[in-house]
Amino acid sequence: MLAEAQAVVDKSIASIRSNVVTDGKIDEKKFNRFQQQCFEIAVASAELQAARAMLAYDTAHSDGVEKPHPLVRDIAIRFCADTCKDILGRFAAAGSALGVARRDVAALLSREDINTWLDTTTEGSGGYGLAEYCCEFNFMRLPSILADEKEMVRETFMRFSDEVVAPLAENIHRQDTDIPEEIISKAAALGCFGTSIPERFGGLQPDDAPDSLGMIVVTEELSRGSLGAAGSLITRPEIAARALLAGGTEQQQQHWLPQLASGEKLCAISITEPDTGSDVAAVSLRATPTEGGWLLNGAKTWCTFAGRSEILVVLARTNPDAAIGYRGLSLFMVEKPAFPGHEFHHRQEAGGCLSGKAIATLGYRGMHSFQLFFDDYFVPTANLVGGEAGEGKGFYYTMAGFAGGRLQTAARATGVMQAAFEQAVRYAWDRKVFGQPIANFQLTERKLARMLATITAARQFSYAVAEKMDQAVANLQDSDTGQMEASLVKLFACRAAEWVCREAMQIHGGMGYAEESPVSRYFVDARVLSIFEGAEEVLAIRVIARELLLREAKE
């Protein structure tokens, strides 16, 4: 059935391609007239990839254990069936707007074999007794099929989240406080800041092989405890480390990476500007050469954790000619003192200033996202990533960092979903209405079953992408290998997180809307996931859809 759904999506891709691609190149004016269609093919492609990851997971689970868990096959097949129904339903409704004929999709859905399969896999109780089973056996997730070493890492950080992060998470969110030193110091002691940094620099990643899988396993468990207070702690050093490993000089790597790995220095990533959003190539903060270094002038926004951090990774325009776009950008390691709270002002001895003010947000609290203002802020020559050879290459180094960031964001989304599901299961079993737990109602059962399926799909999809990216590096393949999949898994997981957290809140009823309930925090935290590390629309249209449309030309 996935093949049939893929064929419909492929037909839509071919139709759009015929309208916007000429001689292997995209006509931008025509492309912009097909944004809605491009968005749809990107979302459908992400969903189909998630479904394939679920089928692969079912196969691996069935082959790898003596007694496969009975829920795995049922939930994997159900997820695939639901995915196909959703995609075909959307494409049937859109019809010619997506370059497919409604009658063709209708004929597909009316085929007896497909109809029978969809009916038998998506109808019925759909999770009968799931909440009772989960609560009785403390079974809140399907088997991960991770190797023993990775499973030990997962369990270590799960305990850390339960024992250290979770007890503090609600107060951090409600009071919008700084992340307590208790969380930061204990996370550093566990080595979480070094998950993407090679061992030779003091990190946890083997020198001879990347370990994206370990990074996302840790990220998911930290995010399960709190997205704002723990799950995003390692995002910034991960992006900084990848950028340094991609373009930093040996001396820069030896200087910065050990400090990042140990947590001695915390960092923030400063890319976005008030007028650029996700359009990284349009960055305009100026870096002007001066004796011994550069002077930064301009504004940045949405720089998360900027106050507490001692290092800001800043993308700036070193070539004033805006016409050359991204080729005029360079990356800097900018040092500053750490400041608590929601506002800071730092003046250098030579007179340069850097000030910041936190942006009030409805969720994702604890780290604080800042607006920054640079006024002749001096940065030494040695802090230009890549040295003299790195001038003009900041965009590429930034993209190298963001590739891992998208994958990690998918893991953050999975962690938030997992936390929401656990709360929903417990509440559904404890809450009695009309003489029985609401978990016994068919609608609740179906909600919980689909939530579990969606979480598992996001988790297994992210595992598969991590392994592909690591294998590409190990085999010296093109550095872009796995980047498309990282974008797809972020798109899928972040959209899914909003739905899962909404359903968890809905199961709680009025209590879900109360701030005293953790699901209200999960709901507002999940909302930011589709915005940062590449806004959903930009990721779908400018990254995924473009790749899909050009794939035939590349091949």
Q: Which residues are designated catalytic?
A: 533
- Alpha helices per DSSP H over 65-204: 70-94, 102-110, 112-122, 130-137, 148-160, 166-175, 181-189
Phi, psi (rounded to 5 degrees) for 139: -110, 95
Give the separation between CA 324 and CA 308, rounded to whole angstroms: 34
The tokens of 284 are what? Answer: 């305009």
How, if at all, do strands 311-317 and 267-270 pair? parallel
Give the separation between CA 518 and CA 499, rounded to whole angstroms: 16
In the chain, helix, strand, coil percent, each to 5? 65, 15, 25
Give the separation between CA 270 and CA 39, rounded to whole angstroms: 27
With contact defined as beta carbons under 8 Å apart, do 490 and 496 qualify? Answer: no
Give the separation between CA 126 and CA 453, rounded to whole angstroms: 11
Phi, psi (rounded to 5 degrees) for 417: -60, -45
Got the DSSP string for 216-234?
HHHHHHHHHH-IIIIITTT
137 by Cβ neighbours in 10 Å (0-12 / 13-18 / 19+) ranks as: exposed
Biggest CA–CA distance in the chain, Å, is: 78
Give the separation between CA 7 and CA 56, rounded to whole angstroms: 20
CA gyration radius, the chain? 24
